[in-house]
Structure 1
């Protein structure tokens, strides 16, 4: 039986998880054995020490022993390790980005559907300029286990080992699932030129461990995948990606993609249907769009470690009303009015242990959530969502702790064309260790993209980025190791 890339990747993830669990069992068994041997040793020393010298007064006196010098405490050692050097990002020299768009529209900015009650037009911003050349891909890791909300653990440097979301809870309970998330991934325009020159795996080369080691990794796919279609009229940035880019995306570790955003119909309904067909053929689960509204609002359900996770895709950025899915035509799962989204969340909660909402919303190039984001984020959690993961502003926005649940307002650009605002190069991978009851602990791995290739930050650059995001978070803060802590 020939496995698809997605199936092979899932099998590899399961095998890694099984090996980790087996290693844990072996370590625990060794610790128990060491403890038993230590007890036996102490008892024998005491027995030997109880052989008595008979003094002249007839009182027994024990012989002198050297007890207490065993030097073994039975505790596991911290085991610091280095992940090696991820490579310095090639930040010198500008990439010839070409024109800002694949297909030139009328030059008007992409905007929300005015009929939906949002009058502010969103502009994509020129993507024809190279990003900031700063950034360092070197990754120094630390294998020490983190504890609940980052307290009490020897966290080491800000760059703890990738995929260590499992350690965030610190309780050693296997009844949890490790999830990872990225921001927007664009596979067209200048990114496509870089991939054609350097290989389709180029964008992910320096961050593979952060995408591959979790149980499920999800991203927002910011482009239609099609070889045909009609470019959307009156739209400044219109994209189209080749299906040849999908195998490398799957091999990178991405398991689920959200299609609910303002570019999925850049090539019309024909492009949308092609996108879904190509993703389905590649066995890459997708949500947020469909042949009708029922399919668009249908969640993707993944299972890991016996825990079911439902992923819903939503967007509050719809260029024109016809992009919205309804019972009669294809489109996106929109959330201007949260009624349909709330119903979908409640239904998903009945079918899964954890509900993740991935939503495209907010104002571009703003690092603070607007009123609609906070209103909708709260409504999703009130309806039963356990995690809300946002995208669209092109910037990292802060986190909010709300009723014991988490909202990540925007994970920014992950793989995207360069933009003039240097902040758009700041990005990261968010890890979430979640129990079956929906309690999640978060950790942000700070990164910076250079020429559309994200790489881990370290030292002062990492600290500065984490501090900035912490400062704009709501009822939450981020420590020096990237743990997101509740301040409710």
Structure 2
């Protein structure tokens, strides 16, 4: 064999090797393609903690499924904000998620929501008239419902009746409040409110008939109802939340209720019945003197007894203004959150206009339910351009307005035996990222 024959043979062998290699490569490509998704529209993006994991498709109403099952809690879901200050609220929610751990849940509490009016009220400026003029729906909560949509549970003090009854408990006095029973669904539930406290001095304004219709309307709208006899127990994320209610105001009351020391004893029994290491017990207390920023001994004494009995937190209302916060034995006592959407008066002043939303967070850690943080969000009860006009639509306030409310809260807390002074309130100095001055 000469040189040329040998060279041709080598070329032939090389050609065979190259063809074999090409076949192997094609086979590998075919295998890879057969294992890839055929419908690229169904490919899911990476899921980030604290984001909206449902993968909602805008303007279609459809959703895609997450790659993994995640808890159905606020931490994993962010609902877009709407209304005035929408971008600020969105940034606050993002900031709040950054403060949270994945196992935490967040709740919202407000003060007096008097969603209705009384027969003698002005026909032009009363709650019902303003509500209808504004188009109804969720109007009273339009500027704050984005906060409620982005929590795990919202609880308000509902200080009215939702009834068609006409027989009032006290015919010779004003302030027998009532609203439309349909508002339980169209106003309250539609605003992401999960529960209502009826332990107050106006839930019985239209006697047993009005009270029962209020209860049934709320329950039909899947809104929880709490009172002295109705204890709410809800599993929120991994944490069981127990909500108790106590009304210490003896006017316009349910005749089945008890008051004073007897009421405190009842609350202590309920606390001891429901409290476990792995749950959170919160008592809503309707008490205190109207238009006073300082809580009195008739509030502090039962509050301390309830905490000593095992309560984890106390939420107060009734004084129509804010009162101090006490950190008693490591437990928060909010003596009064103030009014909120308050249909009891068509005007506001510097005392009854200020209020706040309490936004505590909880988690289950090593079998024990704990408070992991509390945020205070200052509000005005009105969003009208003239603040003296009550348009019954509370709104968050920022900067100097928020700072003024926090200053009042700090001052009123100073009178308490164990004052809370370290309030987390990011709306005072805009402690969230990229705040546009045009939003404020």
TM-score for the superposition, normalised by structure 2: 0.68
Match of 1:264 in 2: 203
Match of 1:304 in 2: 236
Match of 2:191 in 1: 252
SS at match of 2:182: helix
Report deviation, 1:480.
5.3
**How does 1:139-288 map onto structure 2 within 5 Å?**
140=88, 143=91, 161-162=92-93, 167-168=98-99, 170=100, 172=101, 174-189=102-117, 190-198=126-134, 199-233=136-170, 234-247=172-185, 248-288=187-227
Report deviation, 1:85.
8.8
Greater Rg by CA: 2
SS at match of 1:237: coil
Q: Is the 8 A contact 1:163 1:213 kept in 2?
A: no
Q: How large is the Cα RMSD of the aligned pairs?
A: 2.8
Matched, 1:397 2:336: no
Matched, 1:23 2:51: no
Distance in 2 (alpha carbons) for counterparts of 1:393 and 1:308: 30
Q: Is the 8 A contact 1:264 1:272 kept in 2?
A: yes
SS at match of 2:217: helix
Q: Is the 8 A contact 1:448 1:455 kept in 2?
A: yes
Distance in 2 (alpha carbons) for counterparts of 1:410 and 1:277: 28
Match of 1:372 among 298, 307, 314: 298
Q: Is the 8 A contact 1:165 1:442 kept in 2?
A: no
SS at match of 1:181: strand
Q: Is the 8 A contact 2:50 2:97 kept in 1?
A: no
Alpha-carbon distance change, 200 to 184 in structure 1, aligned in 2, over 3 angstroms = same
Matched, 1:476 2:420: yes
Alpha-carbon distance change, 85 to 280 in structure 1, aligned in 2, over 3 angstroms = closer
Alpha-carbon distance change, 205 to 333 in structure 1, aligned in 2, over 3 angstroms = farther
Q: Is the 8 A contact 1:166 1:177 kept in 2?
A: no
Q: Is the 8 A contact 1:162 1:209 kept in 2?
A: no
Matched, 1:427 2:371: no
Match of 2:397 in 1: 457
Higher relative contact order (CA 8 A, sep 6+): 1
Distance in 2 (alpha carbons) for counterparts of 1:440 and 1:324: 39
436-445 vs 208-217, which deviates more?
436-445
Matched, 1:354 2:280: yes
Distance in 2 (alpha carbons) for counterparts of 1:142 and 1:165: 10
SS at match of 1:220: strand
Distance in 1 (alpha carbons) for counterparts of 2:153 and 2:339: 20
Report deviation, 1:223.
0.5
Alpha-carbon distance change, 433 to 240 in structure 1, aligned in 2, over 3 angstroms = same
Q: Is the 8 A contact 2:82 2:146 kept in 1?
A: no
455-464 vs 211-220, which deviates more?
455-464
Q: Is the 8 A contact 1:415 1:454 kept in 2?
A: yes
- For these two proteins, the number of residue pairs brought into alignment is 327
222-231 vs 233-242, which deviates more?
233-242
Q: Is the 8 A contact 2:377 2:425 kept in 1?
A: no
Alpha-carbon distance change, 395 to 25 in structure 1, aligned in 2, over 3 angstroms = closer
Alpha-carbon distance change, 340 to 480 in structure 1, aligned in 2, over 3 angstroms = closer
Report deviation, 1:397.
1.1
Structure 1, unaligned stretches of length 5 or more? 1-18, 28-82, 88-136, 144-160, 289-295, 326-331, 484-488
Report deviation, 1:351.
9.3
Q: Is the 8 A contact 2:140 2:392 kept in 1?
A: yes
SS at match of 1:192: helix
**How does 1:115-154 map onto structure 2 within 5 Å?**
140=88, 143=91
Distance in 2 (alpha carbons) for counterparts of 1:406 and 1:386: 7
Match of 1:316 in 2: 248
Q: Is the 8 A contact 2:399 2:427 kept in 1?
A: no
**How does 1:442-453 map onto structure 2 within 5 Å?**
442-450=374-382, 451-453=391-393
Structure 2, unaligned stretches of length 5 or more? 1-43, 53-79, 118-125, 383-390, 429-440
Match of 1:415 among 341, 347, 355: 341
Q: Is the 8 A contact 1:426 1:449 kept in 2?
A: yes
**For 1:407-454, what per-residue CA distance to the aligned partner results, in whole angstroms no more than 9, with x for missing partners?**
111111110133453321112221101123232421111111221111
SS at match of 1:468: helix
